[in-house]
Amino acid sequence: MKVKTEIYIINMLIINCLILSCKQHKMGNKIEADAVIEQKIDSLLSLMTLEEKIGQMTQVRHFDDISEGDIAAKFIGSVIHTQGPLPGESALDWQEKFSALQKQALSTRLGIPLLFGVDAVHGQNTYEGATLFPHNIGLGASRNADLVAKVAAITAIEAQATGFNWVFSPCIAIPYNEKWGRVYEAFSESTELTTQLARASIKGHQGNLLENHTVMATAKHFIGDGATDFGVEGGNTSLSMAHVHKRLLPPYRAAVEEGVGAIMASFNTLEGTSMHAHRPLITDTLKGAMQFDGIMVSDWKGYSRFGEADIINAGIDMVMAVDGDLEDYQEGLKKAVTEGVVAPGRIDDAVSRILRQKFRLGLFDNPFPDQGLVAKIGSPEHREVARQAVRESLVLLKNEANILPLSKDLSKILVVGEFGHNSGLQSGGWTIDWQGRKENYTGATTVLEGIQKLSKGEVIYDKDGTGDYEDADVAIVVVGETPYAEFFGDIGGEMDAYQHTLTETHQKYIDTYVTRGIKVVVVLISGRPLVTTRQIEQSNAFVAAWLPGSEGDGIAQVLFGEDDFKGKLPHSWPASEQDYAGKYGPNFWDKSITPLFPFGYGLSYQ
């Protein structure tokens, strides 16, 4: 026992020396610094028990999944925050909650710090009061890589300010069918544009990972999640492997080249195999041919849903052991290793990847969040970048007789519909709550508020589209989709709550004011192109505003000509519901369907 203790002390001294050596190399040669990190990983691995290794491969929520003391007792490697009880009321409360968990991790024999992850997909969208940006589909319409990098950098700051060092973003899927409920999470149907913006997003999020205002990014979901047959979330992707390599892999190749810290597996199947258990693509292609050296993380309940030990053998390194999976996962994986189902070398590879990112983030030196960042949450500077993103995301599809830009001197302007004055509705899913909100939230501005701020005349809000106003100069009718996330938003899916067209109520808003002879400007709030051919024909002007986030006044700025329309369609726009009769919708690479407007279309004032 004395000999083992002495060996342990010597090894710990070696690790401490290596940590000091790494500090000396931070400003030096990156190759040398990477070599030091690899030495540190080898030293730690040599000290770890199987239980400690499996613990590092475990990700849990900060509530429900764990009991008091589990972080240390089960050697947990990562904690996530998702839908459910909040870590606290203020950002400082959130930091304190996660710092307390971090202290538990640091109290263990080896003192390996935790990774804290969050689905910050359009800003730190789980914290009310944060700056929320247009969802990725809007950023895709902007085609502005520098702006995307700024958005990601601000998201990183506000994520760190609330206690997180890891975000599950960006989504770099390439949607093939607007029936899919996650279209808005992706940038575009274009491989080239998605690749460009994926690079920018990862650069913005990660920056210099050793700095306290950057986070580890996650490219997701690997692979084919947006290209399933008929747009079914978690369905089958029947594309050929040649097509996958040509059109779906390039954004991931770019992500790896940019040093992305993590990649998340997707829910779909490919070639009849669950992507969580697809060894040829995860291990052979991604980790082998593409040399990805980061963490391959599962999605929700990946272990119990997609093959248990099979997903580890396929190359999954960290598992979301949530909703009751924790015990079964840790005990099941331990049994699989002791019985030879999973090789010890596969476990060591997974743990090495996790430790590598923790060292790259500097967590062994600085494991706690910076309280000084809290003041930056929702700051005027951050919100101005968000307004710029809103302005540049807007796509003008019609502008009859140049009705836009509107004059600020108009006598009476109507703003019609509940979407015109509701920040929750304008922000979509993943806004405070997983499925979004249908009411206003802290710190946001609405379309109505933006119009009231800029107009010199009377502005009337007709929330219910009553049509009781006949002498208005213009009616700005704001319509759209109520918020949704994931499979809840699939069109024709198991929830069956959404459709390709506007609701009858929203169509009536437009009909009412058109029949009264009032000029109509339609602003469409949606997470995807919708079949709105008739409404475009009816209106005098039609704007695709996507899901703008917290800064709705950015829309008003463009309507009044304070900025020009810059957005271009990131997706082909459908002409009819018949466009979705097959597996896929209209795409610029598929010439069999003629869209109403092609990819890249967008008018301007010039």
Per residue in 151-186, pLDDT (tens digit) is 999 999 999 999 999 999 999 999 999 999 999 999
pLDDT over 70 percentage in the chain: 95
pLDDT of 120 above 50: yes
Listed residues 332, 364, 396: the one ending a domain: 364
- What confidence score (pLDDT) does residue 33 get? 86
Q: Which helix (H) or strand (E) holds 222?
A: strand 218-222
42 in a structural domain: no
Mean pLDDT of 274-292: 98
Cβ–Cβ < 8 Å for 317, 57: yes
**CATH number, position 208:** 3.20.20.300
User: Quick one: 213 and 354 in the same domain?
Assistant: yes
Written as one string, the DSSP assignment of 297-316 is: EEEETHHHHHTTHHHHHHT-
Which two tokens mark 159? 């994520």
Listed residues 364, 390, 414: the one ending a domain: 364
- What confidence score (pLDDT) does residue 208 get? 95
pLDDT of 472 above 80: yes
34 in a structural domain: no
- What confidence score (pLDDT) does residue 589 get? 84
Tell me the whole-structure pTM to 2 decimals.
0.94
User: Quick one: 332 and 384 in the same domain?
Assistant: no
602 in a structural domain: no
pLDDT of 19 above 50: no
Mean pLDDT of 392-416: 98
Locate tokens 């051919």: which residue? 533
User: Quick one: 384 and 524 in the same domain?
Assistant: yes
Helices (H), 459-526: 504-515
Distance CA 531, CA 535 (A): 9
User: Quick one: 358 and 391 in the same domain?
Assistant: no
User: Quick one: 315 and 414 in the same domain?
Assistant: no
Locate tokens 């999954």: which residue? 316
- What confidence score (pLDDT) does residue 199 get? 98
pLDDT of 524 above 70: yes
pLDDT of 397 above 70: yes
Listed residues 321, 336, 364: the one ending a domain: 364
259 in a structural domain: yes
Q: What are the helix and strand counts (H, E) for the chain? A: 21, 17
156 in a structural domain: no
Which two tokens mark 547? 């899901």
pLDDT over 90 percentage in the chain: 92
| Angle between helix 145-161 and 380-393 (nearest 10) | 140
- What confidence score (pLDDT) does residue 591 get? 84
520 in a structural domain: yes
Per residue in 192-235, pLDDT (tens digit) is 999 999 999 999 999 999 999 999 999 999 999 999 999 999 99
User: Quick one: 172 and 281 in the same domain?
Assistant: yes
User: Quick one: 197 and 265 in the same domain?
Assistant: yes
Q: How confident is the model at residue 588 (pLDDT cuts 50, 70, 90)?
A: confident
Cβ–Cβ < 8 Å for 129, 550: no
Domain count, the chain: 2
Strand partners, 177: none
**CATH number, position 462:** 3.40.50.1700
234 in a structural domain: yes
pLDDT of 502 above 50: yes
Name the residue range of residue 201's domain: 48-61+70-120+164-364
User: Quick one: 211 and 76 in the same domain?
Assistant: yes
Per residue in 46-71, pLDDT (tens digit) is 999 999 999 999 999 999 899 999 99
User: Quick one: 340 and 410 in the same domain?
Assistant: no
User: Quick one: 502 and 421 in the same domain?
Assistant: yes
Mean pLDDT of 63-85: 95
Mean pLDDT of 328-337: 98
User: Quick one: 342 and 489 in the same domain?
Assistant: no
- What confidence score (pLDDT) does residue 37 get? 95
Per residue in 428-438, pLDDT (tens digit) is 999 999 999 99
Per residue in 348-379, pLDDT (tens digit) is 999 999 999 999 999 999 999 999 999 999 99
- What confidence score (pLDDT) does residue 22 get? 45
Distance CA 390, CA 482 (A): 19
Strand partners, 274: 269
- What confidence score (pLDDT) does residue 27 get? 47
The answer for residues whose C-beta is within 8 angstroms of residue 495's C-beta and 6 or more apart is 487, 488, 489
Q: How confident is the model at residue 41 (pLDDT cuts 50, 70, 90)?
A: very high
Q: How confident is the model at residue 28 (pLDDT cuts 50, 70, 90)?
A: low
431 in a structural domain: yes
The angle formed by the CA atoms of residues 473, 479 and 482, to the nearest 5 degrees, is: 155
User: Quick one: 337 and 389 in the same domain?
Assistant: no
Mean pLDDT of 552-566: 98
- What confidence score (pLDDT) does residue 194 get? 98
The answer for residues whose C-beta is within 8 angstroms of residue 457's C-beta and 6 or more apart is 408, 409, 410, 411, 412, 413, 473
pLDDT of 80 above 60: yes
The catalytic residues are 299, 486
Q: How confident is the model at residue 5 (pLDDT cuts 50, 70, 90)?
A: very low
The angle formed by the CA atoms of residues 473, 478 and 483, to the nearest 5 degrees, is: 170
